[in-house]
Homo-oligomer: A and B are copies of this chain.
Amino acid sequence: MNQSESEHYMDLALEEARAAGLIGEVPIGAVIVHDGQVVGRGHNLREHSQDSTLHAEILAIQEACMTLGSWRLEDCDLYVTLEPCPMCAGAMINSRIRRCYYGAPDPKAGAAGTLVDLLSDQRFNHQVEVVAGLKQAEAAGLLQNFFRGIRAKRKAAKKARQEGSA
């Protein structure tokens, strides 16, 4: 996999992340690639679904399993804009993902090296190769803008409440 190819797939994951942001979800996106084809994609849908399991990676893995007709995603690479949490890292181990490219590290829940390192733990029956920091600035920027927007909205709402009760 050369640099421009992996950047292209991360661009698709960033597109997914922006799709999440547009509907008010934390902007995280993922795609899965098999033999040069995108076989699964997903973006965070936790709030719209009110389902805690619907992270970008889980949706992408479920779609890839359906596309390939198998729970074994053995020659598949997963691209995700934010370092996976334990649930999503565990799902990658369970589905035998070959390689995980991620954008920004996650200091709060990162399970691919930041808080724990599940993907390279030799005690599990599969290890996932990790490439960290691909298009990190862009992935982190999306998240920063999203949370900045939320804080601005909260501040404006508070100001409006204070003015209303004055």
A residues near B (Cβ < 8 Å) are 46-47, 49-53, 55, 58, 61-62, 65-66, 69-73, 85-91, 93-96, 108-109, 111, 115-116, 118, 121, 123-125
Main secondary structure of the interface of A (DSSP, over half): loop
Contact partners of A86 in chain B: CB under 8 A: 86-87, 89-90, 93, 111, 118, 124
Which residues of chain B are within 8 angstroms of A62 by Cβ–Cβ distance? 51, 53
A125 to B70, CA, bound (A): 33
**Option from B53, B58, B70 in Cβ contact (under 8 Å) with A50:** B70
Q: Which residues of B contact A55 (CB under 8 A)?
A: 94
Once the chains bind, are A53 and B94 in contact (CB under 8 Å)? Answer: yes
* 4 tightest A-B CB contacts, nearest first: A87-B90, A86-B90, A52-B95, A52-B71
User: Cβ of A53 and Cβ of B46 under 8 Å apart?
Assistant: no
Given A50-B66, A115-B121, 16 extra CB contacts under 8 A: A46-B71, A50-B70, A51-B65, A52-B71, A52-B73, A53-B61, A53-B65, A53-B91, A85-B90, A86-B93, A90-B90, A108-B124, A109-B124, A115-B123, A116-B118, A116-B121
B125 contacts A91, C-beta separation under 8 Å = no
